[in-house]
Amino acid sequence: MNTEHRDFAAPDEVRAFEYGRAEILKVGDREIGRLVLQPGWRWSEHVKPIAGTDWCLAPHFQYHVAGTIHILMADGTEFDAGPGQVTALPSGHDAWVVGDEEVILVDWWGVSDYAK
- Nearest CA among 98, 57, 92 for reference residue 77: 92
Q: Specify the pLDDT at position 8.
A: 95
Q: Specify the pLDDT at position 111.
A: 76
CA distances from 76 to 69, 99, 113 (A): 16, 22, 24
SS3 21: strand
Tell me phi and psi for residue 60, to 5 degrees. -130, 145
pLDDT along the chain (116 residues), means of 10: 92 96 93 97 95 94 97 98 97 98 94 73
Alpha-carbon gap, residue 44 to 115, rounded angstroms: 12
What predicted TM-score, i.e. pTM, was given to this entire model?
Answer: 0.92
Q: Specify the pLDDT at position 114.
A: 73
Q: Which residues contact 55 (CB under 8 A, 6 or more apart)?
A: 74, 91, 92, 93, 94
Q: Specify the pLDDT at position 2.
A: 86
Q: Alpha helix locations (H) across the chain?
A: 43-46, 48-51
